[in-house]
Amino acid sequence: MRCVARAGLIAFLCAPGVLIGHGIGVVPTLFALTVQAPFALISIGITWLIALGLIFGIPALRTHQNRWPPSAQELFIDGYIGKFLLFGLVLAIVMVAALYADDADSILVQVIAYILFFAGAAANFVLCFHAVTSKNANPYLVPALFAAPVFFGAAPTVSLLWFGGGAVGSLAARRRHWLAAQISAAVFLLLAANSLVRSYRAIDAPAHVTIGGGVAGNAAMAALFVVLAFVSWWALKRSGAASDPESKQSR
């Protein structure tokens, strides 16, 4: 019964839309139940049979047991290579959907997009910190797993911020505080420069071009990045991390 239930869960959550003519979509067939119930059930049924055959046919899958409820380590960190890609992909899809929504110019949608913009860096920081701590993962390659999907759907600066957040989390887990502070300041200043350039181009644009919320947001982010960079250095100095042997070597 455990194997049957596991195969059913996989089928409902992961049945690909390609089986009902939706291409290799990220959204599983489950979302098509409301509009294409018969075809969606066929897709889920085919995936259930395949999953059931694999689970019963492979002894390691058939005898594997998970404690219930699963721990946060099992949900978010174990098997991090596939999971980090999935988490980054899901967050990137939601953010891109907000950026290209029909009412993308509304204040609410723009606020949501900016929240997701920063949330990606924060989520990657936490995930990479725990992956390096518990799994001894590579501190430079692991952050790219979460940040890679958004590179294909949004501006490269978004991917840079998400990767920077993960890299800082990985290095903090290795107690390489000085290098983490340097990377953090570099990412902040690069994004600030990008925002300032975009704001200047918008201000210097022809008279018929109006300055909207996006330009104001870029200017606000530029100021925020500069402030955060200086605050990071000040906090590092106050915490005594500058006396770290690594910082002495860098000098």
| The pLDDT of residue 224 | 67
Smallest CA-to-CA distance from 127 within 114, 139, 113 is with 139
Angle 155-158-161 from CA coordinates, rounded to 5°? 150
Q: Kindly report, residue by residue over 80-129, the tens digit of the pLDDT.
A: 998 999 899 889 888 888 888 877 778 888 888 888 988 998 999 999 99
Which one-letter amino acid corresponds to residue 28? P
The dihedral built from the CA positions of residue 54, 57, 61 and 65, taken in this order, carries a sign that is: positive
Q: Which domain holds residue 98?
A: 72-250
Least confident of 19-28, 168-177, 221-230: 19-28
Q: Are 125 and 228 in contact (CB under 8 A)?
A: no
Residue range 150-157: mean pLDDT, rounded? 86
Pair 143, 97 in one domain: yes
Pair 131, 221 in one domain: yes
Pair 82, 41 in one domain: no
Residue range 215-243: mean pLDDT, rounded? 64
The residue among 63, 92, 116 that closes a domain is: 63
Q: Give the whole-angstrom CA distance, residue 179 versus residue 190.
A: 16
Smallest CA-to-CA distance from 177 within 131, 104, 245, 101 is with 245
Pair 46, 97 in one domain: no
Which tokens belong to 236?
Answer: 């590092």
pLDDT band with cut points at 50, 70 and 90 for residue 247: very low
Pair 158, 186 in one domain: yes
The residue with greater pLDDT, 74 or 227, is 74
Pair 90, 127 in one domain: yes
Pair 87, 185 in one domain: yes
Pair 150, 177 in one domain: yes
Pair 46, 108 in one domain: no
The residue among 33, 63, 93 that closes a domain is: 63
Pair 23, 111 in one domain: no
The residue with greater pLDDT, 199 or 25, is 199
Q: Which residues contact 12 (CB under 8 A, 6 or more apart)?
A: 28, 30, 44
Pair 223, 141 in one domain: yes
Pair 85, 152 in one domain: yes
Q: Are 106 and 46 in contact (CB under 8 A)?
A: no
- Alpha-helical runs (H) found in the chain: 2-14, 37-57, 59-63, 72, 80-99, 107-135, 142-151, 156-173, 177-203, 213-239, 245-250
Q: Which residues contact 163 (CB under 8 A, 6 or more apart)?
A: 124, 143, 144, 146, 147
> Per the structure, how many domains does the chain have?
2
